[in-house]
Structure 1
């Protein structure tokens, strides 16, 4: 009850303070306007720096930032090309806005804001105030709306077009072309006077009496541009439907994920997680044959789709955008190999795809989450044969001694790729691993150790495949070793789950996060979980400031910045917390969730969600705007208090 009262008071205060930010299309009662400055993406680009976060939406390959108040431009910065292979600012700003009577007048910023799905800025000069809003209305186009408090002519121009960009005017559009084939267009209504000058433009708008609409579009080819420009006159003359669709989409996202019984600051975490996932959404392009979600738009090498990342993103988005979740899964299965393998990662340029390894099998979990939220048996039927083929592949290509317990491996025989296949590239448990050639295929190699997490994942996949088979009334003919996994990998010497060596079946006693997986997949016995508690609750090992690191914190090899050798990865922390909940330790799980929500640096403020965090400090470490951390924060939010 107290949280509800706090939410009502907070919303009332917000509404009182945001009258200057009303949309002109809907009232500020939209849920997104309760989450102002959800992320700090203020950045004014110059020639020396690149940004680490953008506003993007609707699957677009372009992004924008808010101008920094100390380096003010009276317009949104960008767009920025978000493609992995050619990332650059197409312009410092494609649309600087001022009053025509004094085009050189400086503007003083009043306020800026990043709402979920919308950018806002307001500034004034001696001649009056100008406010601007930016919303994506499609994957190719963002709609800029400009309003003033004076009936004065407006003048728009571009600022510092990117290297090798050529600007021209064609009919009602400014077209900025790059030799790569990418182009940015700025399109106006026919009454606007466009003039070309010095590889730039000016647009004179006479005394507007209503919001001025400008379409900023990003295209990857001349053919795409020609088709896209045909749709813009209708958008500019009648923007209401497109803006309403944007508002409804975001209202739908937030309505589906927000609870009525949570602290406002925890709601903010959930909304930030959704905003992060949607900002990493990309429409199909080149070799990416379906839309999907990338790990992080802020890191160039992450602009592709990875297998186990995809399974996590799809599980995380199933509740609020199941169609995106479905298509992300389809994108990975577009490259399923004849033997059933799902390759590690795919890109817009298929020559860059990595087929040296796969990734941990979590896809049936993602499909089941989609089914849970949609009841869509058609999608389950579409995926089932491919899921079963992938499941069987593990036993065909990654079970060296044919005992039903699988190993991580690679197609090229390298330990590097095998470590990638685990997803835990430099994990301590692999320090002494060597590669073994498997019988029957030239592309089948295994590490010389059986991994507990892999076989726990496979046990869950098996359970769900059986569920799907019953649902679809089809046979399940895959191997099933589920009942053996927990006892096989439980080391009674230290009361913890560990990997086992192939040569002598001995345990690799380097306790780490792989032990959380049997709890999350619910194959551990209650007795095993109870026996693990002393180590899990030991503040020197796993019950750290941020709980459940990737390796016991008192391990001599522990490294606070060691990627998978110490830091917090929120997927693993989620597996541990949900695992405890699965075995009746709900209060403990809630306490650990609060530690995550309350202690991660910047999580409740404007900082982006990161790839991993400091175990003892909560400091932000690798890649910002990270999708799988966001997915698992949403899962923790959804589980909390239940």
Structure 2
């Protein structure tokens, strides 16, 4: 009963939005939120990731459209993130076969809410739709229509294409196929219509042929479900919920849900970006974040987002990725944004430390406790609060944010001068560089590691971006403290912020170069090499206006940072600039580009900020237009998309570029 009531409550919530959505012209998934990504592809092996994949509701599995005739009549997959670092279960786990029918054409359409494909022969039309009813289950509805003027006699059955993943065993019981694997504790359940007869071996199944007659224009409807559920959840409850709902009601809810989310994003667009091409970019960003969404499972006690399902080593949650995801999500799904924050703070140590990254299954990949990531968590919490004014969430998070903020000064301030350094917990130099999030940036080429105490090490340099982030954290903690009427906390942070702001302006800014750099511990030597860390003081509002103007002038220099995809991680005229081999030595990461654009806006350089935003979105391959995915980073000179596809923080920062 609880699941049914929950389902009905969702209907009521989104039905209340329906009038506004209808007025907006978005109802029925208009072109802005259809086919923004190309999901066509049939996997050849278990690890084939050349195609994009669709999922929703935080499911740990995903689908594509088949692009080979032998697989028509179903959806590619599912791709299982329930085991290993993502494998295809099958090229087509539930293929509907119509005996002796030759399909002549196929049309595919994807929406944020569902997938849809239409197959046609001379006499028949098969329409199939796939929608996620929960984070455990996808529903597939097939409609067979006789489009001829004669009665049609058909024989139909379901079967699977060969299993691609290792360790899978198939059994059947009544109208259910059960899938187990030696690689995971998640169990698959395929439900067919009541009365369906199934035969199986260890690695395949098929249903008995059903003979049907269809008069002209008559339609035969069949709905099946595919569930992949972890053992901490109840299959019996999920099955009960499935039997109490219909495909059409679920699809209606998903349409209303996605259209409401898109409307929320659209309503937040800056006036200069109201054009439909930017609305389409928002839709692509929404679908990208949706496809990386995972419900709580295993070690992960809260839902959140992968950086990318497409890259095998990104099947976990990272800390500063999470803060960025949460800000992007807050514009259309504050509940998911809050849980994204909770996921990492669930692992917070007593001293305030936040782990770098966490995974569902630590036998595949262990959590990384060797370092944390830059402190952007108070920014994320304040941004969420700014939108939904949930004071209870602030009460929950504020003590944890304080502990994390204080941790930096307790464990990462080697000389106790109020300016922090990046470092590691294990004394390794590589982990200390990782802690910056800018793993191989040139400013760390000659860095050395220093011991602060047990389990606490620092680099022998003070970083401008870290201290700018900490300054911003103090400003956001002030806002949160004031919301909670914690006046003494607010006073303390105001004093600390004023002092830190002065120190940033005096120690890290080179008046000769007009740029902010890291320095040695004493603050007497700049670590030269113009990089994106140089404008974080502008993002944090920690620079003077004169300093900001000088930095802006370099940012807008075509020989330095105003490239085809502006505001990359290091100046294009530097000898070590190498976007194709550099990772953080030249590519444009959209988080850093956003910090630069927001920094310009903070100091009133809105004309330049608008110009750069347009150039970023036009210059980066595949961001505008339909089909191609949003990438991890981009070549700043050619615009080529680099590294992982379907990258969450890139999508989140596109939302920020257009709305913040």
Residue of structure 2 in register with 1:633 after alignment: 654
Match of 2:543 among 503, 516, 524: 524
Which residue, out of 220, 238, 252, partners 2:260? Answer: 252
Q: Are 2:435 and 1:415 aligned? A: no
Q: CA deviation at 1:354?
A: 0.5
Q: Which residue of 2 aligns with 1:482?
A: 500
Give 3-state SS (helix, strand or coil) of 1:201's partner.
Answer: strand
Q: Distance in 2 between matches of 1:550 and 1:177?
A: 46
Separation of aligned partners in 2, 1:84 and 1:135: 22
2:156 match: 154
CA distance in 1, matches of 2:173, 2:31: 37
Q: Give the superposition deviation at 1:184.
A: 2.3
The equivalent position to 2:244 in structure 1, one of 234, 249, 254, is: 234
Match of 2:636 in 1: 615
Shift of 1:503: 4.9
Residue 119 of structure 2 is matched in structure 1 by 123
After TM superposition, the structure 1 = structure 2 runs for residues 121-270 of structure 1, keeping only pairs within 5 Å, are 121-150=117-146, 152=154, 154-162=156-164, 163-180=166-183, 181-196=185-200, 199-202=204-207, 204=209, 206=212, 209=219, 211-221=221-231, 224-235=234-245, 238-259=246-267, 262-270=274-282
- Structure 1 window deviating more from structure 2 (148-157 vs 619-628): it is 148-157
Inter-partner Cα distance in structure 2 for 1:84 and 1:201: 24
Q: How does 1:37-76 map to 2 (within 5 A)?
A: 37-47=35-45, 50-52=48-50, 53-68=52-67, 72-76=71-75
Is residue 33–residue 115 contact of structure 1 (8 Å, CA) maintained in 2? no
Deviation larger for 126-135 or 152-161: 152-161
Distance between the aligned counterparts of 2:79 and 2:93, measured in 1? 10
Q: How far off is 1:86 after superposition?
A: 4.8
Change (3 A) 1:225 1:91: farther
Q: Secondary structure at the match of 1:174?
A: strand
Tell me the distance in 1 between the aligned counterparts of 2:109 and 2:136: 22
1:195, CA displacement in angstroms? 4.0
Give the gaps of 5 or more residues in structure 1: 1-26
Aligned: 1:80 with 2:50: no
The answer to which of 566-575 and 76-85 deviates more is 76-85
- Native 8 Å contact 2:535 2:551 kept in 1: no
User: Cα RMSD over matched residues?
Assistant: 2.1
Report deviation, 1:537. Answer: 1.7
For the residues of structure 2 that align with 1:504 and 1:63, how far apart are their CA atoms?
51
1:314 aligns with 2:326: yes
The alpha carbon displacement at 1:106 in A equals 3.5
| Aligned-partner SS, 2:571 | coil
Map Cα deviations across residues 18-66 of structure 1 (whole Å, 9 max, x no partner): xxxxxxxxx9833455433211121111137512431111000011111
SS at match of 2:66: coil
Q: Does 1:271 align with 2:295?
A: no
C-alpha offsets along residues 469-503 of structure 1, whole Å, 9 cap, x if unaligned?
A: 11112242565443322332111120101101115
Structure 2 equivalent of residue 580 of structure 1: 600
| Displacement of 1:67 | 1.0
- Confirm whether residue 496 of structure 1 aligns to residue 515 of structure 2: yes
Residues 524 and 222 of structure 1, relative CA distance in 2, 3 Å threshold: closer
- 1:157–1:203 CA contact under 8 A, matched in 2: no
Is 2:563 the counterpart of 1:544?
yes
CA positional deviation for 1:450: 0.4
Q: Conserved in 2, the CA contact under 8 Å of 1:192 and 1:204?
A: no
Tell whether the 8 Å contact from 1:548 to 1:568 is kept in structure 2 after alignment. Answer: yes
Contact 1:187 1:232 in 2 (8 A): no
Instruction: Classify 1:104/1:44 alpha carbon distance in 2 versus 1 (closer, same or farther; 3 Å).
Output: farther
Deviates further, 162-171 or 463-472: 162-171
Matches within 5 A, 1:252-401: 252-259=260-267, 262-350=274-362, 352-401=366-415
Tell me the distance in 2 between the aligned counterparts of 1:122 and 1:514: 50
Q: In 2, Cα distance between the equivalents of 1:165 and 1:396?
A: 49
Q: Is the 8 A contact 1:32 1:251 kept in 2?
A: no
SS at 1:211 equivalent: strand
1:624 has 2:628 as partner: no
User: Greater CA deviation, 492-501 or 250-259?
Assistant: 250-259
Q: Provide the C-alpha distance between the structure 2 equivalents of 1:251 and 1:118, rounded to a whole number of angstroms.
A: 12
DSSP-derived class of the 1:466 partner: helix
Give, in whole Å, the separation in 1 of the partners of 2:437 and 2:83: 21
State TM-score, norm by structure 1: 0.90
Alpha-carbon offset, residue 155 of structure 1: 2.2
Match of 2:15 in 1: none
- Give SS of 2:553's match: helix
596-605 vs 379-388, greater mean Cα deviation: 596-605
Aligned to 2:611: 591
**What residue number does 1:514 align with?**
533
Say if 1:148 and 1:589 are closer, same or farther in 2 by CA, change over 3 A: same
* SS in structure 1 at match of 2:207: strand
Name 1:558's counterpart in structure 2.
Answer: 577
Deviates more, 1:485-494 or 1:457-466: 485-494
Distance in 1 of aligned mates of 2:607 and 2:646: 30
Contact 1:280 1:295 in 2 (8 A): yes
- Cα shift at 1:234: 2.2
User: Is the Cα–Cα contact under 8 Å of residues 448 and 503 in structure 1 kept in the other structure?
Assistant: no
Secondary structure of the residue that 1:130 maps to in structure 2? strand
Cα separation, 2, equivalents of 1:349 and 1:93: 26
* C-alpha distance in 1 between matches for 2:29 and 2:118: 21
* Residues 1:585 and 1:377: Cα distance change in structure 2 (over 3 Å): same
Work out the CA distance in 1 between the residues paired with 2:595 and 2:286. 20
Is the contact made by 1:174 and 1:201 (CA closer than 8 Å) also made in structure 2? no
C-alpha spacing 1:404/1:86, structure 2 compared with 1 (3 Å): closer
| Number of equivalenced pairs | 606
